[in-house]
Amino acid sequence: MERGSGTFQQRVVLLGDVSYRYQLWLPPGWSAAGRWPVALFLHGAGERGDDGVRPTGVGLGPALREHPERWPLLAVFPQSRDAMGWRRPMLRQALAALDAVLLDCGGDARRQYLTGISMGGYGSWRLALDEPDRFAALVPICGGLDASPLAIARAGGDPGDPPAAAARILAHVPTWIFHGADDRVIPVTESRVMVEALRAAGAPVRYTEYPGVGHNAWDRAYAEPELPEWLLAQGP
């Protein structure tokens, strides 16, 4: 690959005999000789499909285009197929894309970040629980807990109290949660419950709730200048 200047590239990852398109963001000044932080972005329900492009149009993608200087990292944009949410096998192909970028593009395995919006906010919680030691930071936006009973049980948590169990499993992961107070699609209580559980577990959690904002909390969240600064400070 050649040196990047703040661009998206379409790539393909193969799982078995099925290929999945995804987008890769290369920041200004990128070179494979470096060790770059990597963000994995999980889109919402409106961006499902197999074109490999739509996930870059909402959420993190516009923020990268608007202020590339704020985001000196690689970003991976997998796409969930129609009628599928962020569960396996869709999470498997997201991780396969992330692994390919780590291997091919100078990604830093110690600084992998996970973020998602709406359906992808739920997917972020689920993937973090499936891979509790993989991500250096977690940024769920207008989502809620989608707890895998298997992941909770495997980690020794109590499936009878999913928020508390999830919080104990992820208590070591720095997390910044965003939600609009007037969200009529995913109630703000979904995030408030997780914030309370994480705080009770002693987790390093931050919470930003936007008064008067509905479901689209992601435009304001990704436009926060402090968010990429905080994100890039996580990890060794």
Dist. CA 33–CA 105, nearest whole Å: 8
Beta bridge partners of 18: 15
Specify which residues 75 forms β-bridges with: 25, 39
**How far is the C-alpha of 23 from the C-alpha of 187, rounded, in Å?**
30
Fold of the domain built from segment(s) 5-232: Rossmann fold (3.40.50)
10-residue averages of pLDDT along the chain (236 residues): 68 92 94 90 95 95 95 97 85 96 94 98 94 96 83 66 90 98 97 97 97 98 98 94
- Return the pLDDT at 31: 84
User: What pTM value is reported for the model?
Assistant: 0.94
SS3 175: strand
Q: 3-state SS of the chain: helix, strand, coil percent to 5?
A: 35, 25, 40
